[in-house]
Chains A and B, each alone.
Chain A
């Protein structure tokens, strides 16, 4: 008897509850939503602000990491260096260069070597009082005396465009392998000896030619370089 009565009562109770809960639900889900929408807007704005703040913090953290790396690099190199920021890229598609925010006022002169912790970047092409243009390793006008680190094979690094360089005048009989590191020889007087230029990524030996075709991939990502060092004096 009791369970039967209970089920009848519960049906009744459910009907009453549904009847009364309807306006409450209408209020809560539709009328009250106006307030929720306002809150939603505020929260969305807060999210946007926090996202922006997060981006700023991430940027500062990355800058901090980068600067720390630069500082360590500067400590380890026993030469007089000037830190500079990249402020512009080449105006044309035909040449590979970028501008830095340091110039004659800081003692920068034409021909000086430009480095970053990853390796050689290029050399100063022209300088103004507080502005200089750096000719990159990958430009066709660039040339640097270099060595293959493993075998001490000497050659001249020249830019060939497309993000690569070539090690010229390497005799066909020389033992040069893929993956060998190419470093600056220091003979031309501006680049410190041992500065990393890049890694050998392609080799071609032609029977008709006395020299091998050695293609190097520079270690520096020129598109992502933001800070560089100019070597002022190798004598220190």
Chain B
């Protein structure tokens, strides 16, 4: 439960970082999207139902902090989540280099889906080439930033597990 809450708060933290105007103007050459690597992480290491709720939360936050139609990112993140779930069953996702490839693939898929949805709504969101270029560079840049952000999640997870083990032992001893 605590871990679930931590990931939910961490998601909020990531969104706040990526919407910060100061960081976006001076630090980031292209707006990163931490929700995609986080969706991948959640899908790999969380139970499907918990993960689904977390991804819905991330999508909801994206909808809240963006000027799009409410629900568009919730839908997109759920699609990505399902895609990774299927991929997880098909591929042996232990190799970290493969993770990079999958994350880039998720960025591409996300952009293509947005392009498709925009097309359905009768809007034009750039040409396919621009979309592919933008999504690849955004994906790569987000991946680089994720290398700075995600070790914190791992460290917190390890600390959390150790504390949980200690508490469990303590309860056993008391009994």
Chain A interface residues (CB < 8 Å from chain B) = 86-99, 125-126, 133-136, 139-141, 160-162, 223-224, 226
Contacts and interface: CB of A to CB of B under 8 A. Distances in A.
Contacts of B118: 94, 140
Given A161-B126, A162-B126, A94 B19 contact: no
Contacts of A95: 66-68
A91 B21 contact: no
A89 B125 contact: no
A111 to B, nearest CB: 14
A15 to B, nearest CB: 62
B125 A90 contact: no
B105 interface: no
Contacts of A139: 67
A139 B68 CA distance: 9
B126 A91 contact: no
Given A89-B24, A91-B18, A91-B65, 16 more contacts: A88-B19, A88-B20, A89-B19, A89-B31, A90-B31, A91-B15, A92-B31, A92-B68, A93-B30, A93-B31, A93-B33, A94-B118, A134-B67, A140-B124, A140-B125, A141-B68
Interface string B1-40: 0000000000000011011110011000011010000000
B134 interface: yes
B62 A91 contact: yes
B67 A161 contact: no
B67 A141 contact: yes
Nearest to B135: A93
A91 B20 CA distance: 9
Contacts of B25: 223-224
Contacts, number: 74
A133 B118 CA distance: 21
Interface string B52-80: 00000000011001111110010000000
17 contacts: A88-B20, A89-B19, A89-B20, A89-B31, A91-B15, A91-B18, A91-B61, A92-B68, A94-B68, A94-B125, A98-B21, A99-B65, A126-B70, A140-B124, A161-B126, A224-B25, A226-B21
Kindly state the interface size class of chain B when it binds its partner: 20 to 34
Interface in B112-131: 114, 118, 123-126
B21 A88 contact: yes
Interface string B88-113: 00000000000000000000000000
A91 to B, nearest CB: 4
Contact of B62 (A92, A96, A161): A92
Contacts of B16: 88
Contact of A90 (B65, B70, B134): B65
Given A92-B73, A93-B134, A135 B20 contact: no
A135 B66 CA distance: 9
A139 B62 CA distance: 17
B161 to A, nearest CB: 31
B75 to A, nearest CB: 13
Given A125-B67, A136-B67, A162-B126, A91 B19 contact: yes
Contacts of B20: 88-89
A92 B138 CA distance: 11
A135 B21 contact: no
A224 B33 CA distance: 21
A226 B134 CA distance: 26
B123 A91 contact: no
Contacts of B70: 126
A91 B125 contact: no
Contacts of B123: 140-141
B33 A92 contact: yes
Contacts of A126: 70
